[in-house]
Amino acid sequence: MIKTIAPVNIALIKYWGKASLDPVLPSTPSISVALKDFYTVTEVDQSETFSFHLNEKPVSQEVLKKTEAFVRLFQPEGPLKLAIKSTNYVPTAAGLASSASGFAALSLALHHFYGRSLNDYVALTAKGSGSAVRSLEGGAVMWHLDGSIERLNIDLSAYQMAVIMIDTSPKKIPSREAMAMVQSSPDYQGWLVRNKARALKLKDALTHHDIKTWGLLMEESTLDMHALGAIAAAPFVYLKEATLLLWQALIEARKNGLEAYATADAGPNLKIIFNRKNREAITHFLNRHPFSYVITDFTDQGARLWSK
């Protein structure tokens, strides 16, 4: 039996669209940070049949088939006699990057279970979930246009993230489907240019611990990503009114000296990054709003074998 753990990563500069499906390559570079308290634990073991339990429940046939297709990348031939058990310590399919930690943990487990070399680790992981490749490493990670990942030499110990649970129900449009839909947006080519430039600027701002610059770039990337969905040929919106009202309240608080910045992935839940010295002020701000939240540190540990 192989047991692995992988952290959730939250993108500061968003990955939103593929330039290639085989190999999986991002349309723009992206940068993320790994969270300490949100992660997936996965077990892979021999079995008489192929099965997959998520959070102690059998998955749907659709998810089972997708998982089987992913496992076939590691074991192309013969019957699959494998039992997979995953537990998400984060709401599943709610825009909190559970698929990233999930596929990162599963990919590492399958590499060890089948005795594969880790040379193709990143490329195979991306076939399950593009954003999962950033969970292979801890800390701040950049996913480049050529498909490679770079661990950025950034000390994140001075910062924390508040994850606000506005709506943790599964999203109606999966991220992969949404990424294909936004390529019909009349501004998609503009997005490619703008987001690539943001990634390069944010990388430099991280190096200099310039939280104002990278916070504003993160917000620009987030809102630009969500705008693509709103103007796609078949429009869709992930953000909810409550998301926007809380974000607006944060902007007003920032005008009054609260240095904190927000982002949202493919879902309505907001994440706020701030310097840990401002934790009391952030807690006071969040307690004025009717949502549960978790404040977490970042972690330097990526996907790894379970050692507890």
- Domain ranges in the chain are 1-308
CA 17 to chain centre: 14
- From the number of C-beta atoms within 10 Å of its C-beta (0-12, 13-18, 19+), residue 1 rates as exposed
Residue 247: helix, strand or coil by DSSP? helix
CA 84 – CA 66 distance, rounded (Å): 13
CA 96 – CA 113 distance, rounded (Å): 28
**If you search the block for the tokens 């977490």, which residue do you land on?**
296
CA 110 – CA 73 distance, rounded (Å): 10
CB 301 within 8 A of CB 34: yes
CB 197 within 8 A of CB 190: no
State the DSSP H helix or E strand holding residue 2, giving kind and residue range, or none if neither.
strand 2-13
Max distance between CA atoms of the chain, in angstroms, equals 63
CB 111 within 8 A of CB 121: yes
Residue 114: CB partners within 8 Å, gap ≥ 6? 74, 75
The domain made up of 1-308 has a fold known as: Ribosomal Protein S5; domain 2 (3.30.230)
Tens place of pLDDT per residue across the chain (308 aa): 999 999 999 999 999 999 999 999 999 999 999 999 999 999 999 999 999 999 999 999 999 999 999 999 999 988 999 999 999 987 654 456 578 999 999 999 999 999 887 778 899 999 999 999 999 999 999 999 999 999 998 999 999 999 999 998 888 898 889 999 999 889 999 999 999 999 999 999 998 989 999 999 999 999 999 999 999 999 999 999 999 999 999 999 999 999 999 999 999 999 999 999 999 999 999 999 999 999 999 999 999 999 76
Alpha-carbon dihedral 209, 213, 215, 217, rounded to 10 degrees: -130
CB 160 within 8 A of CB 297: yes
CA angle 84, 86, 88 (to 5 degrees): 165
Q: Report the length, in residues, of the chain.
A: 308
CA 81 – CA 227 distance, rounded (Å): 44
pTM of the model: 0.93
| Helix 175-182 with 211-230: angle, nearest 10 deg | 80
Residue 5: helix, strand or coil by DSSP? strand
- CB atoms closer than 10 angstroms to residue 141: 23
